[in-house]
C-alpha cells in the first residue's frame, strides 16, 4: 500500500545532488566562546543555561568546526521535525478514512504540499546536511528512512533507494545513536542546547536514550576531528585541480 507522504522525498531528494549545493566554509566569528589555555582547557559558551554540562573543546580551531557543524544541524532539524509531524498527521488521518480512494487523495495532497514547499531547498543540501537529515528522521520518527519507505512502499523500491543513496556515501538505513556515535552526540548536544536557549522548537525524540547521562559519561567533550580531516581532503583536491 502506498501511504508514503512526500516528506520522504526529502530523504530521496538527498540522493539526487545534481543541483547546485552550498559551499562549505568555516565560520570566523567565535567571540561568543572563551578558550582557557592548557592547564584548564575548558570552553564556556556565554549565557548558556547550566542544565547541561558545558561543551569542552581542545582548541579555538575546534570551536570553528563545531560552529560550522551547528549551522548544518540548525538547517536540517526543521525538515526532520516536519517529517515527523506530517507522518503522524497522515497516519492519524488515514486511520479515520474508510475509503481507499479518499486515502489516496489525502496522501497526494500532503505529498504536493511537501514537494512544493521544500524540494528545491533539500536538493541544494550538501552531503553532510543530507546525512544529518537522514539521522534526524530516525530521531524524530523512531524509524530509519529506509524502514519508513519499506513499510509504505514495496521492499524493492526501498532497496533501490538505499542502493542509490550509497552512490553518494549515504544510506537510508543510517540510525541515530548519540551514546555510541560521535557525530550523533554532537547533533544531540547542539539540539538540546538550542532547545534550552530557545533557538529551536523542541520536539521529543521517539528513540529511547538519556542525553544528560550520555553527556556526563562523555564529559561533554567535543570531538571534531573527522571534519578537520574532511576539510583537509577538500583543500588537497582543490590544490590538485589547479
**Residue corresponding to grid cell 500500500:** 1
Specify which residues 221 forms β-bridges with.
56
Collapsing DSSP to helix, strand or coil, 35 comes out as: strand
pLDDT of 7 reads: 42
Q: What is the pTM of this model?
A: 0.75
In a domain, 233, yes or no: yes
Of the chain, the percentage scoring pLDDT greater than 70 comes to 68
Q: Smallest Cα–Cα separation from 14: which of 149, 157, 164?
A: 164
| Domains held by the chain: number | 1
- Mean pLDDT across the stretch 181-195? 97
Encode pLDDT of 45-77 as tens digits: 555 444 688 899 999 999 999 999 999 999 999
Q: What is the mean pLDDT of residues 118-144?
A: 87
Confidence category of residue 44, pLDDT binned at 50, 70, 90: low
Structure confidence at residue 81 (pLDDT): 92
Give the per-residue SS3 of 72-127: HHHHHHHHHHHHHHHHHHHHHHHHHCCCHHHHHHHHHHHHHHHHHHHHHHHHCCCH
DSSP code per residue over 185-213: HHHHHHHHHHHHHTSS-----SS---HHH
* Residue 123 within any structural domain of the chain: yes
Is 95 domain-assigned? yes
Mean pLDDT on 230-235: 88
Give the confidence band of 145 by pLDDT, cuts at 50, 70, 90: confident
Task: Specify if 1 maps to a domain.
Answer: no
19 compared with 85, residue with greater pLDDT: 85
Question: Is the pLDDT at 19 greater than 50, yes or no?
Answer: no
Find the angle CA(162)-CA(163)-CA(164) to the nearest 5 degrees.
90
The confidence score (pLDDT) of residue 86 equals 80
pLDDT of residue 65: 97
pLDDT band at 152; cut points 50, 70, 90: low
In a domain, 17, yes or no: yes
Pick the range with the lowest mean pLDDT from 51-55, 203-207, 218-222: 51-55
For residues 143-168, average pLDDT: 65
β-pairing, 33-35 with 43-45?
antiparallel
Domain that holds residue 129: 6-241
Residue with cell 566554509: 25
Amino acid at each position: 500500500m502506498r501511504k508514503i507522504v512526500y516528506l520522504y522525498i526529502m530523504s530521496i531528494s538527498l540522493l539526487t545532488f545534481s543541483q547546485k549545493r552550498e559551499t562549505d566554509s568555516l565560520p570566523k566569528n567565535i567571540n561568543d566562546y572563551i578558550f582557557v589555555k592548557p592547564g584548564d582547557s575548558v570552553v564556556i559558551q556565554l549565557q548558556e543555561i547550566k542544565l547541561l554540562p558545558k561543551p569542552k573543546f581542545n582548541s579555538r580551531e575546534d570551536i570553528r568546526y563545531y560552529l560550522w557543524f551547528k549551522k548544518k544541524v540548525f538547517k536540517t532539524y526543521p525538515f526532520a521535525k516536519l517529517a515527523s509531524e506530517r507522518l503522524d498527521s497522515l497516519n492519524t488521518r488515514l486511520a479515520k478514512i474508510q475509503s481507499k480512494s479518499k486515502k489516496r487523495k489525502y496522501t497526494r495532497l500532503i505529498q504536493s504540499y511537501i514537494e512544493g514547499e521544500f524540494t528545491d531547498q533539500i536538493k541544494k543540501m550538501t552531503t553532510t546536511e543530507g546525512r544529518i537529515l537522514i539521522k534526524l528522521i530516525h530521531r524524530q520518527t523512531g524509524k530509519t528512512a529506509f524502514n519508513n519507505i519499506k513499510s509504505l512502499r514495496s521492499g524493492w523500491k526501498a532497496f533501490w533507494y538505499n542502493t542509490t543513496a550509497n552512490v553518494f556515501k549515504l544510506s537510508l538505513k543510517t540510525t541515530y545513536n548519540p551514546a555510541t556515535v560521535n557525530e550523533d552526540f554532537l547533533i544531540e548536544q547542539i539540539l538540546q542546547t538550542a532547545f534550552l536557549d530557545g533557538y529551536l522548537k523542541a520536539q521529543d525524540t521517539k528513540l529511547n536514550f538519556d542525553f544528560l547521562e550520555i553527556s556526563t559519561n562523555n564529559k561533554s567533550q567535543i570531538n571534531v576531528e573527522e571534519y578537520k580531516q574532511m576539510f583537509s581532503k577538500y583543500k588537497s583536491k582543490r590544490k590538485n585541480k589547479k
